[in-house]
Amino acid sequence: MSRIGTQPVELPEGVTATIDGSVVTMKGPKGELSFEVASSVSVTQGEEGIVVTVENPSTQVAIWGTSRACIANLVEGVTNGFEKKLTLEGVGYRIQASGRKVTLNIGFSHPVELEAPEGVEVTVDDNNVITVSGIDKQLVGQFAADIRAVRPVEPYKGKGIRYTDEHVRRKVGKRVVAGGAPGA
């Protein structure tokens, strides 16, 4: 039995759900999202909310819980939305956002330009904190990961792009021992 899959997804005030075969569509104050569930998963709307069931609970536990979590993310997205914050660490590193275009100056010989997907908003604070927000959790997380992948944090000086709440383990650099070669 899936502990997550058995829980119904509650619909808050102002959110409507439409179930059309295997496609679940949510409409809320922030917009509209849809998700297509697997063929072995059935979705019904009851009094307590949206209930997800599977044909064989003993073998389809993973898809059961995943489908329920994706539907819960639809509800969260159309009501509150999602956001990821990234921080630039490094001398001279800058980021600029204009419209859907993001320009990164992060130590390369040329600026790196990225185009935000439809439905994702990018804002910049203090030239070193970037906020990626939107209603689709997958798009927000993927675009934040794409920005971070341009210059991941290196472990010696801590320079690069990191999530604001990310902890980077720092390594000790070369040490010179008196009377010998470095590291000896």
Confidence of residue 180 (pLDDT cuts 50, 70, 90): low
- Which tens digits make up the pLDDT trace of 92-148? 899 999 989 999 999 899 999 999 999 999 999 988 899 999 999 999 999 999 999
Confidence of residue 3 (pLDDT cuts 50, 70, 90): confident
Cβ count within 10 A of residue 184: 8
- Which tens digits make up the pLDDT trace of 17-34? 999 988 999 999 999 999
Rounded Cα distance between 31 and 25, Å, is 11
Rounded Cα distance between 135 and 183, Å, is 51
- 82-163 maps to CATH 3.90.930.12: yes
Asked if the domains 16-79 and 82-163 are classified in one and the same CATH topology, the answer is: yes
Q: What is the mean pLDDT of the chain?
A: 90
Which amino acid, 15?
V
- 16-79 maps to CATH 1.10.3720.10: no
pLDDT at 62: 87
Look at residue 38 and tell me whether its pLDDT is greater than 70. yes
Q: Which residue has the higher pLDDT, 142 or 60?
A: 142
| Domains in the chain: boundaries | 16-79, 82-163
At residue 115, the 3 state secondary structure works out as strand
Look at residue 11 and tell me whether its pLDDT is greater than 60. yes
The percentage of residues in the chain with a pLDDT greater than 90, rounded to a whole number, is 68
